[in-house]
Amino acid sequence: MSEGAESPSKLQREAARNIVSKYLKVRPGENVIIESWNHTLPMATAMLDEVRRVDGNALLIYNDEDSWWRAIDRKQSKLLGRSSAPEWAALKAADVYVNFWGPADTDRLERIPDKTGDEAFAWNWPWYAVARKTGLRGVRMTTGFVTEGRARRWGLDRARWEEKVLRASLIDPEEIAKSGTRLSKVLSRGKRVRITHSNGTDLEVALAGVAPRMQDGRPQPWDRGSSDSGMLTNIPAGFVDVILDSDTAEGRFHANRRTNIWWNWHAGATVEFADGKLTSYSIEDGSGELARQYASGTAGKDRASALTLGLNPAVKDVPNLEKWERGCVSLAIGGNRGLGGTNGSNFFTWFCLAGSEISIDGTPIVRGGKFLS
């Protein structure tokens, strides 16, 4: 941010107001925790202002990056993985939670050993266990993923990337829900899906008869039909997931959007299926980690497991938001139990294609990336 620039910016304030009022729907008297790192503090303070504007009770938790890394240097990763008694008490009393991802030094974060990372973030699953019991609802802010390190690695302008993420947070969830509900009804009745594109994609898969799941960004307290972390949604938002029959897949799928899973990524993927099984794959960029994970994957890693259709009209080829792009279709392979399926493989990834034609039982529903109804 240039010297003298407004902080929080006008766009950050607008996004914060939209999220607090339309996504989180914070009510007067509700207790809200906002957890931030150094690089997300301006946006976090905008959220703080908006919670107070609607008469909510706000608590800002600040994670200092430098001291966090000093603890890592002192071999205190286990200490970082323990939350304090006041933190647990605040969580138990909270109604709403806002999380900003961190730390920001993603270059260094990607290099820490798995054991160290697991220890430093060991609080994560106990946190979800408490949140399930208390009825908490909350959001994860993708703006926290917008870092100088990732921007440099991916050849992006960090400020422009952040602006795109924030503008995608301005979409009214009602707009997302309307198109998502229509799409879900069509998917619920369908049997076969065909995906074609001028890049050579021509893939046919079968739906498993499991009700689609729409994510419009409005969180709800956890229930038994949700995943373990189902009380939190990602902002920006907007997609529909549907489970596939893992015994059926025929043809070729070529991705024209990258896939980002945490700090692992791949781009330019081509996958081919025959008789329901993955017969070959190639990756233009980022293949190393994917190949390693696939090699150690368990049974079911070679099966098409889910489709995701993006609903957010403000997203177009935005890193970390590829699945959210309106009309974009993502094909997942591997485990899908987290989505309500039966594939228990420990391997999972997806491939994103924008601008395709998608037909259900012979009737086009998407053409050139645009919904037809």
Q: Is the pLDDT of residue 198 over 90?
A: yes
Do residues 138 and 197 both lie within one domain?
Answer: no
Domain span at residue 332 reads 173-215+236-371
End-to-end CA distance of the chain: 42
The answer to whether residue 54 is domain-embedded is: yes
Q: How does residue 262 score in pLDDT terms, banded at 50, 70 and 90?
A: low
Q: How does residue 4 score in pLDDT terms, banded at 50, 70 and 90?
A: low
Do residues 277 and 204 both lie within one domain?
Answer: yes
Do residues 95 and 179 both lie within one domain?
Answer: no
Do residues 162 and 181 both lie within one domain?
Answer: no
Do residues 259 and 331 both lie within one domain?
Answer: yes
Q: What is the mean pLDDT of residues 169-175?
A: 97
207 or 226, which is more confident: 207
Do residues 53 and 32 both lie within one domain?
Answer: yes
Do residues 75 and 121 both lie within one domain?
Answer: yes
DSSP letter for 309, please.
E
CA 346/CA 344 separation, integer angstroms: 6
- B/e letters for 175-211, b = 16+ CB within 10 Å, e = fewer, are ebbebbeebbebbeebeebbbbbeeebebebbbbebe
Do residues 71 and 86 both lie within one domain?
Answer: yes
The answer to whether the CB of 200 falls within 8 A of the CB of 254 is yes
The answer to whether residue 222 is domain-embedded is: no
Q: Is the pLDDT of residue 153 over 90?
A: no
The answer to whether residue 319 is domain-embedded is: yes
CA 128/CA 71 separation, integer angstroms: 24
Q: What is the pLDDT of residues 280-298, one digit of tens each?
A: 999 998 888 889 999 999 9
Q: What is the pLDDT of residues 104-144, one digit of tens each?
A: 999 999 899 999 999 999 999 999 999 999 999 999 999 99
Burial class (CB in 10 A: 0-12, 13-18, 19+), 313: middle
Q: Map residue 236 onto helix, strand or coil.
A: coil
The answer to whether residue 223 is domain-embedded is: no
- Look at residue 5 in the predicted model and tell me its pLDDT: 73
CA 196/CA 238 separation, integer angstroms: 22
Q: What is the mean pLDDT of residues 172-194?
A: 96
Q: Is the pLDDT of residue 63 over 70?
A: yes
Q: What is the pLDDT of residues 72-99, one digit of tens each?
A: 999 999 999 999 999 999 999 999 999 9
The answer to whether residue 230 is domain-embedded is: no
In the chain, the number of structural domains is 2
* Cα–Cα distances in angstroms (integers) from residue 46 to residues 183, 233, 318, in the given order: 34, 19, 23
- Look at residue 290 in the predicted model and tell me its pLDDT: 87
* Cα–Cα distances in angstroms (integers) from residue 241 to residues 244, 299, 359, in the given order: 10, 22, 16
Do residues 262 and 281 both lie within one domain?
Answer: yes
- Look at residue 340 in the predicted model and tell me its pLDDT: 84
The reported pTM is 0.94
Which of 143, 168, 193 terminates a domain? The answer is 168
The answer to whether residue 157 is domain-embedded is: yes
Do residues 104 and 253 both lie within one domain?
Answer: no
The answer to whether residue 87 is domain-embedded is: yes
The answer to whether residue 255 is domain-embedded is: yes
Q: How does residue 154 score in pLDDT terms, banded at 50, 70 and 90?
A: confident
Do residues 62 and 189 both lie within one domain?
Answer: no
The answer to whether the CB of 350 falls within 8 A of the CB of 308 is yes
Show the beta-strand stretches assigned E in 173-328.
192-196, 202-207, 213-215, 232-235, 239-254, 259-261, 264-266, 270-274, 277-282, 304-310
